[in-house]
């Protein structure tokens, strides 16, 4: 592959407010290769959804990209005029949102919503658009698409609706899909189906997926690489196995420790769930130095004084001074 499909460099998202500017995403850098699934994980308010919205150019005002660049297949797409960005949305970057119950317009059939999206991006006849809509519904695993295409969203179950949402994101065969909490509103068995669907898309079509979630389990099952975000910054980024089994950043380690493990080693006596002391700082009170330093069990003087950049540690990179002099 020649270079990453999506490259985000030093992205900074700000919200100017009356009481000063809030920095919601601060110097985030990440890259996704074609066919790769990058998980972005973090607590609520860590800036992961805003990173996704910034990439598709749908930050809600007054939020804005204050610095950094976003490149899609090498081309800069941040700061494009609205109309050009609109052509990229749906055509080259698809999006899936959290709640399939509210992502679909209740007053239009799924067929109408699919064909309008296809017609907005591809130069085809309405009849061809409908044929493609049927193929898409079949592709995402909706049984009997011919019978279902003229149904309204409320006539589908939650899982089926999320499949429709995925089909809508796929209308114009985008090379990149940004999936913001695609499984959060679904029950576990449906989650597994949607995850399998995303994996199949990445494998068969070479679609790159940015999977935003707070669920480490979903990341573990789905992603190839993972970026851990904390207080608007990327704390650690690397192959998913590495990050899960050998977390470098103390925050990631704490995050892994807080996941209950069921089954593995059942019967053996195990310790209590580890909990990270304190809470993620609010955007108007991010401490100097490393944002995690007040909660970090391994902090030292430098942590409160200087902000760490991502430092390569083996195949992963962590923004932590522990690795300043090599692992």
Partner 1 sequence: MLAFILRRLAQAALVMLTVGLIAFSLFRFVGDPVLFMLGQEATPEDRTRLTLLLGLDQPFYVQYAGFVARAVQGEFGISLRQVRPVSGMILERLPATLELALVAAVLALVAGIVMGVYTALRRNSWFSQALLALSLIGVSLPTFLIGILLILVFAVLLGWLPSFGRGETVDLGWWSTGFLTASGLKALILPSITLGLFQMTLIQRLVRTEMLEVLRTDYIKFARARGLSDRAVHFRHALKNTLVPVITITGLQLGAIIAFAIITETVFQWPGMGLLFIQSVQFADIPVMAAYLCLIALFFVVINLVVDLLYYAVDPRLRIDRAAAAH
Residue 113: CB minimum distance to partner 1, A: 8
CB closer to partner 1 out of 117 and 222: 117
Residue 297: CB minimum distance to partner 1, A: 39
Element (H, E) at 150: none
Question: Phi and psi dihedrals of 270, rounded to 5?
Answer: -125, 160
Residue 296: CB minimum distance to partner 1, A: 36
Return the closest-CA partner of residue 230 out of 307, 322, 176, 314.
Answer: 307
CB closer to partner 1 out of 134 and 246: 134
Residue 269: CB minimum distance to partner 1, A: 46
CB closer to partner 1 out of 34 and 153: 153
Beta strands (DSSP E) in the chain are: 6-17, 20-32, 37-41, 64-72, 75-76, 93-96, 176-180, 208-213, 225-230, 233-239, 311-313, 316-318
Residue 154: CB minimum distance to partner 1, A: 5
CB closer to partner 1 out of 155 and 284: 155
Question: Phi and psi dihedrals of 72, rounded to 5?
Answer: -115, 120
CB closer to partner 1 out of 121 and 130: 121
Q: SS3 of 208, please?
A: strand
308 Cβ contact list (under 8 Å, min separation 6)? 289, 290, 319, 320, 321, 324
CB closer to partner 1 out of 151 and 199: 151
Distance CA 272, CA 285 (A): 31
Hunting for tokens 């990453």 — which residue is that?
4
Distance CA 304, CA 240 (A): 28
Residue 147: CB minimum distance to partner 1, A: 8
Residue 85: CB minimum distance to partner 1, A: 9
- Measure the CA angle with vertex 320, ends 232 and 243; round to 5°: 80
CB closer to partner 1 out of 84 and 258: 84
Q: Which two tokens stand for residue 192?
A: 């597994």
Residues in the site for partner 1, rule: CB under 8 A?
Answer: 56, 58, 82, 86-91, 94-95, 97-99, 102-109, 116-117, 120-121, 151-152, 154-155, 165, 168-169, 171-172
């Amino acid at each position: 592959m020649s270079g990453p499909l999506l490259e985000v460099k030093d992205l900074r998202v700000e919200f100017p407010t009356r009481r000063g500017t809030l920095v919601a995403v601060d110097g985030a850098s990440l890259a996704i290769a074609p066919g790769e699934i990058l998980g972005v994980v973090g607590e609520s308010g860590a800036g992961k959804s805003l990173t996704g919205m910034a990439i598709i150019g749908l930050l809600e005002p007054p939020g804005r990209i204050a610095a950094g660049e976003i490149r899609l297949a090498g081309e800069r797409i941040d700061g494009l005029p609205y109309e050009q960005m609109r052509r990229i949305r749906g055509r080259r970057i698809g999006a899936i949102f959290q709640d399939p119950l509210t992502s679909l317009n209740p007053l239009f059939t799924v067929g109408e919503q699919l064909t309008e999206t296809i017609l907005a991006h591809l130069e085809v006849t309405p009849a061809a658009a409908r044929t493609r809509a049927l193929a898409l519904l079949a592709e995402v695993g909706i049984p009997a698409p011919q019978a279902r295409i003229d149904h309204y969203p409320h006539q589908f179950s939650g899982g089926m609706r999320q499949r429709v949402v995925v089909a809508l994101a796929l209308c114009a065969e985008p090379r990149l899909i940004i999936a913001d909490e695609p499984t959060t509103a679904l029950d576990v068995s449906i989650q597994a189906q949607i995850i399998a669907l995303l994996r199949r898309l990445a494998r068969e079509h070479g679609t790159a997926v940015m999977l935003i979630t707070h669920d480490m389990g979903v990341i573990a099952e789905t992603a190839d690489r993972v970026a851990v975000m904390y207080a608007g910054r990327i704390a650690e980024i690397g192959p998913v196995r590495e990050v899960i089994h050998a977390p470098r950043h103390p925050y990631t380690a704490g995050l892994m420790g807080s996941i209950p493990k069921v089954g593995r080693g059942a019967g053996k006596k195990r310790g209590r769930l580890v909990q990270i002391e304190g809470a993620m700082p609010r955007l108007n009170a991010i401490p100097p130095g490393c944002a995690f330093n007040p909660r970090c069990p391994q902090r030292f003087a430098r942590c409160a004084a200087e902000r760490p950049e991502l430092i390569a540690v083996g195949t992963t990179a962590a923004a932590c001074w522990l690795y300043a002099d090599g692992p």
